[in-house]
Structure 1
């Protein structure tokens, strides 16, 4: 789990560096320094994960690493959101306002603080004599923050999203089946709330499979480049990489048109960040060739993105119940046949109240508790002062801010 999440954080950090977000905010050197330190940690992470079952010290080190990774992720999201607001400000003078100067000072201080914490964790690794493993992924490439796929995971089936899924399936299969123009349904929610999981449940629903002639899944993230998106859609529709043989945008668009023309299609565009309406209009024109009932489902954190793309009422995702969060935490914290001690269950149900209904928080807390079986350890996690709000997310222009309780826990 630590390996996967650290990779996501590194990918996001590299993307921000390549987009010169650090230069805009005056923290480019700190970002590059942070990237170097996290890569150093990543080189020994595989060996640490292998040895954690035999070493409590390594388990504690991994827990501290997981906690700081969430803090880094939050700082990076805040940087991205702030620059996005600057880019869409009506007044260029506002980019040089006192408010921006104060913000840059604040984010520089936060970046320095997380750098110091990460460096301390990196230095601590030397005590464990961990082997360095080769990092196969080229680090200089600008990568999306994450990549998703349409296949259902086992955990996707118990996340308490049946009502959400049924509502969206009904809309796609019944309500818009005779609509001539392409329908666009955004799913909006903060990070970690389960937008991708809900989209997977819809995409793989038997009614949806039967209703649509073509189903396409594409992970967009912050890369809304036309040629890349259309190629990805062709590859998803055909199940092959033949789209990469086409080099010119005109040929690629014609190929997608042939695949979708006069067919009822469903396209899921997962994790969309683009709020440039011209780019969306360009893609929409290419997609406007299907038969009645053709639909696009978009998952996004930003209301502005949804407002640009939508033709249907947005589906705003809410948090899970404490009962479902407990089921997720329990699944991660205990083996499939392991009995949960009554006292741990009582404490665990208090812990999930701090998840604020966020599935990612519940699963991460379950991972933290995976090797803890003493009641006092669970109580420590429940009462830890490090269980604080670090996941601040904003919906651009939505008029409100949402705070998540982090899944970080001190040791």
Structure 2
């Protein structure tokens, strides 16, 4: 039996999709003739998984004449996306040399008078290109819907015609159910009391992220050794204070004043743009947390610019080094 940790959100989305009209502003605000429902949350929180559950649900299958799923990512190219939508609908390849106007006419004919559900997964950008993409869907039947998954609340606010579904961390009970399923498989945690104790500590550090439960849980499940689990347990989140971090940026000359804006204001603007795309999560007040998975990624991409020295021991220091951290082990 597949574990569904988002039943409440799934039910809410299905209710919205089955409605014939929006409960809020008119769909024309999006530049299209249908409703746009954003699913918002940080990477790994389960937006795509939830959208897939809704997409495959029996009521949705029966309600829409045509269902389309397109992965957008950071390349929001209208011509490419329109071509991919046509190919999804017709199940035939089309030339990449075809002009956008030709592609849009083909798409209009394919969806005319049909009630459609379009899922645009992982949208990163919003600009005038959005209206161009939506233009052919004016001819779709009433009750057509679009689900957009995105990390950015700004994008959701600009293109959504109904209030966004914001996915937060899983509650402790739901998260533990998912985590133990991945870590222990068919076994019961009670059968491994030492591992269960360590597992609960590890689970408490993962901040309710489903992708972390699956990734770390499956990793633990591959080696049911207490020593291995304790080593994984040492992984941490990394906290930062907004003012301290932005001052460090200014010291490193990553930020310069712009027009009449002070350097501090520019740095704060940059910081909150990173918060909006979920690189940081709010902890409390001006304190934020970067998840360990994101921290590992940032370390990887900046390895030639940063280095850490512990008790005088360090790897060879790069000539491109910008930041050196010196730490004395306890």
* Pair in the same fold by TM > 0.5: yes
C-alpha distance in 2, partners of 1:183/1:308?
13
Structure 1 residue runs of 4 or more that deviate by more than 6 Å after TM superposition: 177-180
In structure 1, the residue matched to 2:119 is: 268
Alignment of 1:250-399 (within 5 A): 250-276=101-127, 278-336=128-186, 340-382=191-233, 384=234, 386-389=235-238, 394-395=275-276
C-alpha distance in 2, partners of 1:366/1:335?
9
Question: Are residue 403 (structure 1) and residue 248 (structure 2) matched?
Answer: no
Secondary structure of 1:215 counterpart: strand
Secondary structure of 1:369 counterpart: helix
Change (3 A) 1:296 1:404: same
Alignment of 1:207-222 (within 5 A): 207-222=59-74
Task: Report the TM-score, using the length of structure 1 for normalisation.
Answer: 0.55
C-alpha distance in 1, partners of 2:49/2:188?
26
C-alpha distance in 2, partners of 1:404/1:169?
32
Query: Is the CA contact (8 Å cut-off) linking 1:361 and 1:406 kept in structure 2?
Result: no
Correspondence for 2:39 among 181, 187, 190 = 187
Secondary structure of 1:158 counterpart: coil
C-alpha distance in 2, partners of 1:163/1:220?
26
Query: Is the CA contact (8 Å cut-off) linking 1:325 and 1:355 kept in structure 2?
Result: no
Change (3 A) 1:208 1:381: same
C-alpha distance in 1, partners of 2:95/2:188?
48
Query: Is the CA contact (8 Å cut-off) linking 1:354 and 1:405 kept in structure 2?
Result: no
Secondary structure of 1:355 counterpart: coil
C-alpha distance in 2, partners of 1:196/1:304?
19
Alignment of 1:94-133 (within 5 A): none
Gaps of 5+ in 1: 1-153
C-alpha distance in 2, partners of 1:233/1:345?
46
Change (3 A) 1:202 1:257: same
Query: Is the CA contact (8 Å cut-off) linking 1:326 and 1:348 kept in structure 2?
Result: no
C-alpha distance in 2, partners of 1:406/1:208?
37
C-alpha distance in 2, partners of 1:338/1:357?
21
Secondary structure of 1:218 counterpart: strand
In structure 2, the residue matched to 1:228 is: 80
Question: Are residue 201 (structure 1) and residue 37 (structure 2) matched?
Answer: no
Secondary structure of 2:94 counterpart: helix
Deviation string 1:69-101 (CA, Å, 9 cap, x unpaired) is xxxxxxxxxxxxxxxxxxxxxxxxxxxxxxxxx
Of Structure 1 and Structure 2, the greater strand share is in 2
Query: Is the CA contact (8 Å cut-off) linking 1:220 and 1:272 kept in structure 2?
Result: yes
Query: Is the CA contact (8 Å cut-off) linking 2:34 and 2:142 kept in structure 1?
Result: yes
Give 1:261 deviation, angstroms.
0.9
Change (3 A) 1:259 1:390: farther
- Look at both structures and tell me which one has the larger radius of gyration over its CA atoms: 2
Gaps of 5+ in 2: 28-32, 241-270, 283-287, 297-330
C-alpha distance in 1, partners of 2:281/2:202?
26
Alignment of 1:30-49 (within 5 A): none
CA RMSD of aligned residues (A): 3.0
Query: Is the CA contact (8 Å cut-off) linking 1:218 and 1:233 kept in structure 2?
Result: yes
Give 1:319 deviation, angstroms.
1.1
Secondary structure of 1:190 counterpart: coil
Query: Is the CA contact (8 Å cut-off) linking 1:332 and 1:370 kept in structure 2?
Result: yes
Report how many residues are paired: 249
Give 1:322 deviation, angstroms.
2.4
Of Structure 1 and Structure 2, the greater helix share is in 1
C-alpha distance in 1, partners of 2:134/2:188?
50
Question: Are residue 171 (structure 1) and residue 16 (structure 2) matched?
Answer: yes
